[in-house]
Amino acid sequence: MRTSSRVARRIRSGGLATVTAAVVLSLLGACSTPAPSPTPAAVSEPVVTTPPAAPSDPTPAFAQLEQEFDARLGVYALDPLSRAEVAYRADERFAYASTFKALAAGILLKTVPDEQLDELVSYGADELLPNSPVTEANVNEGMTLRAVAEAAVRFSDNTAGNIVLERLGGPEGFTQALRDLGDTTSSSDRIETDLNSAIPGDTRDTSTPRAFALDLATLLTTDALGAAQQSQLIDWMTGNATGSELIAAGLDAGWSVADKSGAGAYGTRNDIALVWPPSGSPIVLVIMSNRPTEDAEYDNALIARATEAALAGLGY
């Protein structure tokens, strides 16, 4: 369920739970090797509502989904306040595909002054890539850098995604920015659309569900971004035009979602999100998947049903 206006109101009223960066960074430090569920740590925020049911082990459900969809599934869900987590193949590598655009846009908001975000970006028709509806429509006039970032997140515009990457210093610059967030796992090596090749065993343009979830948690639930920048990124993600059949489809009525989807070869289908229950603190959820053959088609239902299992694992 998408409720952009509701989420925006909760942000403006302080309803977005913000944890200390140290909490998320301590989890990022554990990305390189699997670890047992961490002990809940005290944070400065008020105690949140306890989930309404006892958590259940989602591992059998995830394994069943893999068998049913002939897919490999990676899941990481985290309540940043309580540090409760659900992890399944959370430290295995997957091609991240277009999900990177949300993180890249967040880093852009973090590192580029507002006045530069509002400067005009010009590009030529020869630079347009497939699946670039917004940049194509504005090729004659150009777009502000802020509008380019919004197009990359909201519409997964590929040309816009490459412009954002270029502004960050290309794949190398994006990788360094992720390192600066504490992510020692993710690797950005190519631009759109080459980064979607998702060849098994190829570590280029890959991450793990845990690493990308903690990157997202750093940007959206800590003070790594200013309040205005954080609100801007969440607004773009709540307006994502490509994710309605993914994590959003696995949520009960009353929940809200801000997400960024991605797809590639080998049946790659991903979604990264911040989701809000009707009451209580937000949850970071990353689901990644692929299939055995290069021309395999993805099935959005896999992501929706994995969402249900992940949230059940947290007690929802």
Active site residues: 98
Instruction: Specify the DSSP element, H or E, that contains 285.
Output: strand 283-290
**Cis? peptide before 293, omega within 30° of 0:** no
What is each CA distance from 55 to 85, 134, 142, 146, in whole angstroms? Answer: 10, 42, 50, 41
* 287 closest CA partner among 253, 255, 248, 236: 248
The answer to whether 266 touches 70, Cβ cutoff 8 Å, is no
For residue 187, the 8-state DSSP code is: B
Q: Which two tokens stand for residue 8?
A: 């925006």
The answer to whether 63 touches 300, Cβ cutoff 8 Å, is no
Distance CA 291, CA 140 (A): 40
Q: Which two tokens stand for residue 174?
A: 């994006």
What is each CA distance from 107 to 17, 111, 155, 177, 226, in whole angstroms? Answer: 20, 6, 18, 7, 11
3-class state of residue 167 by DSSP: helix
State the residue for tokens 């890959």.
Answer: 206
Count of C-beta atoms within a 10 Å radius of residue 54: 7
Q: Which two tokens stand for residue 173?
A: 């610059």
DSSP per-residue codes, 3-28: -HHHHHHHHHTT-S----HHHHHHHH
